[in-house]
Amino acid sequence: MLGRIRIDVPLALAPMAGITDLPFRHICKQFGAGLMITEMIASRAVEQGRMRTGRMAEIGSNEHPIGIQIAGSDPDYMREAARWAAMRGTDFIDINMGCPVKKICKQVAGSALLKDEGSVAKVLEAVVDAVNLPITLKIRTGWDESSKNVARIAKIAEESGVQMLTVHGRTRAQMFNGYANWNDIGLAKAAVSIPVLGNGDVVDAASAKEMLRISGCDGVMIGRAVQGNPWVLAEVRAALLGEPMPVKPEGSERWHVIHDHLLTLKAHHGEQIASKLARKHVIWYSKGLNGSAEFRRHFQLLTCWEAQLAVTEAFFCGEAQDWLHAA
Ligand SMILES: Cc1cc2nc3c(=O)[nH]c(=O)nc-3n(C[C@H](O)[C@H](O)[C@H](O)COP(=O)(O)O)c2cc1C
């Protein structure tokens, strides 16, 4: 439970800017994500009333439970962003203190806030007070190896009224290099009594179980492993619920999922933007399949939506090399 929200399985889709938009989440929900979070929304962008920000916060009726993620270091902007998010039908609000991107850290937001524990408390308290929804927090384990403060930040979060914490087991200095340290996630779990989700480098059911064993966490959040592979959610879900492993679909069964994803991309973003976004998603879907390198080279050059659909269908459903003649 998260406040009054029932979560049927402690398996969360990680927020990923530019990726976890409504169409991507629509697919992830079908494969059993227990909890989802939007892309990060900068509190300044909310204040400036940017159009794109409204689109990023759109929530589909089948997506619950879902949280809108906000980021920023100014308690006033964050309070306003939280109220704005609450009016958009979100079930909870997630605060990002894990983003390592320079542009965000320069404004002392994202993971840069972890260096300033006083400001962490101020931001969290402002958001908790602003809305009548559960507040969750996503952090890294600290700024760098010599200043890891994951347990203290976890404690501050709990004392500020945060109801669930996600820890990505890397420091900011690590960016996405090296490995997530699952023991460090356990330091946060041991420090608090609110639920803690562990995150970083979970790629399948076995790694999910191992992360939970090492960290002692209550649940798992998965990001990059879901790109082009929403089936991993069904696998991890089954492992967490003790159910039989689902079979990963092949060929035309995969195409049905990809087709649904592409049509939802077009409905949500319009054909022009969908066509650009389709490139990365279709290429991720094709990863590791026979002939995928050649398919990727060919697909990247396509600019017409109909051709993208035809070539993708032929690649997933046709005989070897059929797709070369599809466009
Ligand atoms: C392209 C990309 C965009 C991301 N955007 C966000 C974001 O908007 N908010 C956030 O809290 N984390 C963001 N992350 C971090 C992920 O949520 C997650 O913590 C990280 O990828 C580690 O988990 P994984 O190993 O399962 O991918 C992003 C990661 C990637 C790769």
What is the DSSP code (8-state) at residue 89? T
SS3 224: helix
Name residue, tokens 């010599």: 146
Name residue, tokens 């420091």: 171
Q: How far is ligand 1, taken at its centre, from the CA of residue 234, in Å?
A: 20
Ligand 1 pocket: which of 203, 224, 277 to mutate (most atoms <8 Å of CB)?
224
Which amino acid residue places its CA nearest to atom 6 of ligand 1? 16
Q: How far is ligand 1, taken at its centre, from the CA of residue 84, in Å?
A: 23
pLDDT category of residue 324 using cuts at 50, 70 and 90: low
Strands across the sheet containing 219-222:
11-13, 219-222, 196-199, 164-168, 135-140, 92-97, 66-71, 36-42
CA distances from 4 to 1, 69, 81, 216 (A): 6, 19, 22, 24
Atom of ligand 1 lying closest to residue 110 CA = 11
pLDDT at 300: 92
Atom of ligand 1 lying closest to residue 166 CA = 19
pLDDT at 99: 74
Percent of the residues in the chain that have a pLDDT greater than 90, as a whole number? 84
Q: How far apart are CA 33 and CA 58, in angstroms?
A: 18
pLDDT at 104: 65
pLDDT higher than threshold 90 for residue 126: yes
pLDDT at 321: 63
pLDDT digits (tens, 9 = 90+) for 175-234: 999 999 999 999 999 999 999 999 999 999 999 999 999 999 999 999 999 999 999 999
Q: How far is ligand 1, taken at its centre, from the CA of residue 59, in Å?
A: 19
Active site residues: 99
pLDDT digits (tens, 9 = 90+) for 250-299: 888 999 999 999 999 999 999 999 999 999 999 999 999 999 999 999 99
Strands of the chain, DSSP E: 11-13, 36-42, 66-71, 92-97, 135-140, 164-168, 196-199, 219-222
Low-confidence winner among 52-56, 78-82, 180-184, 309-313 (lowest mean pLDDT):
52-56
Which amino acid residue places its CA nearest to atom 29 of ligand 1? 16
Q: How far apart are CA 263 and CA 240, in angstroms?
A: 31
pLDDT digits (tens, 9 = 90+) for 227-260: 999 999 999 999 999 999 999 888 889 999 999 9
Q: Which amino acid is at 196?
A: V
Which amino acid residue places its CA nearest to atom 1 of ligand 1? 16
Residues in contact with ligand 1 by the CB-under-6-Å rule are 14-17, 19, 39-40, 69, 96, 98-99, 138, 168, 199-202, 222-225
pLDDT higher than threshold 70 for residue 108: no
Q: How far apart are CA 243 and CA 235, in angstroms?
A: 9
Compute the Cα dihedral for 164, 60, 18, 84 and give only its sign.
negative
- Written as six digits, the tokens of 82 are 């939280």
- Written as six digits, the tokens of 233 are 């959610």
Q: How far is ligand 1, taken at its centre, from the CA of residue 56, in Å?
A: 16
